[in-house]
């Protein structure tokens, strides 16, 4: 199954981000902590260039904690600051301002030395759809300004917002890239909700999710669906059938698929990370 999604407003947003990047001091790149690489848009690297950035690992409460720590180390080795947050609850938000100040200290010290009056940090938030950008912004400005929702593509335009007196934030719509070179990235994004469900074959995504949990988090799969160790090792189609039977769905596999995807996304199967840091990169 090939998954592609690049609505017209995303192409427009890409152009606008390219035009506005020169106006900001720093970029907040929001990613899903469950897929720290797959939820990064590769075209943004060219747009951001050498501009200081912070990778904000949102939904870290849903991600494998050990993997999140490993990814923070990985990004640090790449020279990029990464912060785990839970925007929905406001956890970790205070680190955004302190890290921004640290990264921009030399720039603002130069301004001060030249007699330039102090001003707010100008930041831009970017990221793919449904990683929680609008929720983050609403938490930062403490008002329900940006539209939020559990569906991708809610934010359609750019807007400047004030975070107290210290940050002026330029919000941007979520931007996916025109083509996923690796089809597995499309599946990962689909499983976590970054692509509209109406564009997906839900049973294929459910089978991918079950295969991943079977391989990496079998105990969580067993616990959620009251499976024996032997049942949890069934091939994904048979596993979906068994779960469907246990939930009383009989042969309604479409309903079972939607249920499995919902429960994976909402954390009912426990914390997980789809992008795992290779052991060689953490040593």
**Ranges 4-18, 128-142, 199-213, 260-274: which has the least confidence:** 4-18
133 labelled binding-site residue: yes
Q: What is the mean pLDDT of residues 192-219?
A: 90
Range 65-86 average pLDDT: 96
Domain 201-282 is found in CATH 3.40.50.300: no
Is 172 annotated to bind a ligand? Reply is no
**Residue 280, annotated ligand binder?**
no
Q: Which residue has the higher pLDDT, 10 or 18?
A: 18
Whether 132 has a binding-site annotation, put simply, is yes
Distance CA 96, CA 83 (A): 7
Task: Tell me which residue of 182, 200, 163, 181 sits closest to 274, measured CA to CA.
Answer: 182
Our CA angle for 101, 173, 14, nearest 5°, is 95
Q: Please check if 99 is assigned to a binding site.
A: no
Quote the pLDDT of residue 161. 82
Domain ranges of the chain: 8-171, 201-282
User: Was 135 annotated as part of a binding site?
Assistant: yes
Question: How many CB atoms within 10 Å of residue 10?
Answer: 20
Annotation-wise, does 45 bind a ligand? Answer: no
- Nearest Cα residue to 167 out of 112, 117, 101: 101
Indicate yes or no: pTM above 0.75. yes
Binned at pLDDT 50, 70 and 90, residue 11 comes out as low
CB 68 within 8 A of CB 273: yes
Pick the CATH number of 8-171 from 3.20.20.70, 3.40.50.1460, 3.40.50.300, 3.10.20.30: 3.40.50.300
Tell me if 58 is assigned to a ligand binding site. yes
Is 130 marked within a binding site?
Answer: yes
Report phi then psi at 259, rounded to 5. -65, -45
Q: What is the mean pLDDT of the chain?
A: 85
């Amino acid at each position: 199954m090939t998954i592609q999604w690049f609505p017209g407003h995303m192409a427009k947003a890409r152009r606008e981000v390219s035009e506005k990047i020169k106006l900001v001091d720093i970029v907040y790149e929001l990613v899903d902590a469950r897929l720290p690489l797959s939820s990064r848009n590769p075209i943004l690297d060219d747009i951001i260039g050498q501009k200081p950035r912070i990778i904000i690992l949102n939904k870290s409460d849903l991600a494998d904690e050990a993997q999140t720590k490993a990814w923070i180390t990985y990004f640090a080795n790449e020279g990029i600051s990464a912060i785990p947050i839970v925007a929905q609850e406001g956890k970790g938000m205070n680190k955004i301002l302190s890290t921004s100040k640290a990264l921009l200290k030399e720039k603002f010290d130069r301004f001060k030395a030249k007699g330039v009056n102090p001003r707010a940090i100008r930041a831009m938030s970017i990221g793919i759809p449904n990683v929680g950008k609008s929720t983050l912004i609403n938490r930062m400005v403490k008002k329900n300004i940006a539209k939020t929702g559990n569906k991708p593509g809610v934010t359609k335009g750019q807007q400047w917002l004030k975070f107290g007196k210290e940050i002026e934030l330029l919000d941007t719509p979520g931007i996916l890239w025109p083509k996923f070179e690796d089809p597995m990235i499309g599946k990962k994004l689909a499983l976590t909700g970054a692509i509209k469900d109406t564009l997906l074959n839900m049973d294929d995504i459910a089978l991918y999710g079950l295969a991943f949990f079977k391989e990496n988090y079998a105990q969580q799969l067993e616990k959620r669906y009251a499976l024996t160790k032997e049942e949890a090792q069934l091939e994904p189609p048979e596993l979906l059938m068994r779960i469907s039977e246990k939930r009383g769905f009989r042969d309604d596999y479409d309903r079972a698929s939607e249920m499995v995807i919902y429960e994976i996304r909402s954390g009912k199967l426990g914390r997980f990370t789809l992008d795992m840091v290779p052991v060689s990169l953490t040593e």
